[in-house]
Amino acid sequence: MYMLRIRIFKIKKKKIMCKTNGWKGVKELIETEERYVTLLEKTIIHYMRPMDELRTEKWKGQVISENEHRQLFSDLQIIFSLNEQLLKDMKQRFENWDNDKSKIGDLLLDFIPYFKMYQNYFNNYDNVNTLLLKLNNKRS
């Protein structure tokens, strides 16, 4: 009988830990997405937009060309918008989180088709790094 109680206690403890870990996992996912969205937003505000403005004003041709700007920041605004929406959806789901009933996987599954936006980023990564080196050397 004593062994049965210990076994039941261990099973209950595992279920509680799974529920707690599930909640913690979702919370960590949201916190990670928040940091990512914040970094994207800062990149847009402090680099993409100012460089675009400089490109079209009196500095035209002296900073970066339209083609270089497009290469550096290709789908950044779209990626930011998509991730911002995903974050909003995850936060909304998390507000009324119930470990027994709530899930977040469906939000991630709905987001999968938009991962195509990252393909340009991955495909152009080496080219962008080369361009950054070229632009940096040009400034020196």
pLDDT digits 0-9 by tens, 51-104: 888 776 666 666 788 888 889 898 899 999 999 999 999 999 888 877 777 788
Domain count, the chain: 1
17 domain residue, yes or no: no
Does 14 fall in a domain?
no
139 pLDDT above the threshold of 80: no
What pLDDT score was predicted for residue 9? Answer: 44
Q: Is residue 103 part of a domain?
A: yes
pLDDT at site 61: 63
pLDDT reading at 11 higher than 80: no
pTM (two decimals): 0.76
Is 16 a member of any domain? no
pLDDT of residue 60: 65
67: containing domain:
22-138
Indicate whether 11 belongs to any domain. Answer: no
Q: What is the CATH number of the domain that holds 71?
A: 1.20.900.10
40: in domain: yes
Distances (CA, A) of 29 to 18, 37, 47, 72: 16, 12, 27, 27
Which residue type is seen at 6? I
- CB-side neighbour CA atoms (13 Å) of 137: 6
Residue 6 lies in a domain: no
121 belongs to a structural domain: yes
Among 103, 75, 77, 79, residue whose Cα is nearest residue 89:
103
